[in-house]
Amino acid sequence: MVTTPLPSSKPSIEAVVIGASAGAIDALNVLLPPLPRTLAVSVIVLVHVSARLPSLLPDLFAAKCQVPVREPVDKEPVAAGTIWFAPPNYHLLIERERTFSLSIDEPVNFSRPSIDVLFESAAWAYGPHLLALVLTGASRDGCSGAAQVRKSGGIVAVQDPSTAVAPMLPRLAVSHASPQKVGTLAQLSALLLEHVGGAKS
């Protein structure tokens, strides 16, 4: 599979957005626990979860990760050194002043929260200082958002569809967003650590 080479001189990453659906927990178990205590960026994770129940993901990953894991509240600053999980039944947006915004606007691609909404707003807020990871999923939600991250100068990395529990989302993201990287979860983990300062020398 051909991907676009990453630029040799790249802007520093200030935030990471991760979108996933079916099969998300296993994928996130590879990516999130290795993040270092010295994490200097914001990591914002959106998983399609039931709108009728509280999400168990923050508690689940707080027990496994070295950095704080929480859900944001409306107008809260997007603090670095934290893993943020989108709450159920709200769109999660990043405003230009780098604060969270929660919205009850209509679902996008049948989803609320929507990966597209998060990615597109983060692309506006962070431009080339954004890294977007598209993981396993069984819908197209995330494709146009990933394309917007790419258009805004950010880095887009997609899980190799052949390794995904649900290959539809990563396959569509590869074809629609021209990602700079397509790889296994281990390869995406290495890329993530490189950009947040946790790669081994």
Is the CB of residue 20 less than 8 Å from the CB of residue 47? yes
Residue with tokens 């296993």: 26
Is the peptide bond prior to 161 cis by the omega test (within 30 degrees of 0)?
no
Question: Is 21 in the active site?
Answer: yes
Measured distance CA(184)–CA(186) in Å, rounded = 5
Question: Is 48 in the active site?
Answer: yes
pLDDT digits (tens, 9 = 90+) for 4-56: 555 545 679 999 999 999 999 999 999 999 999 999 999 999 999 877 766 89
Is the CB of residue 3 less than 8 Å from the CB of residue 121? no
What is the pTM (predicted TM-score) of this model? 0.92
Name which of 75, 74, 69 is nearest 28 in CA terms.
Answer: 69
Residues shown for the chain: 201
The whole-number pLDDT of residue 51 equals 74
Question: Is 141 in the active site?
Answer: yes
Three-class SS state of 78: coil
Q: Active site residue: 114, 141, 144, 160, which one?
A: 141
Name which of 108, 96, 64 is nearest 86 in CA terms.
Answer: 108
Q: Active site residue: 42, 48, 111, 116, which one?
A: 48
- The token duo for 161 is 């569809």
Give the mean pLDDT of the chain. Answer: 92
* Domains in the chain: ranges and CATH: 15-196 (3.40.50.180)
pLDDT digits (tens, 9 = 90+) for 45-96: 999 987 776 689 999 999 999 999 999 999 999 999 999 999 999 999 999 9
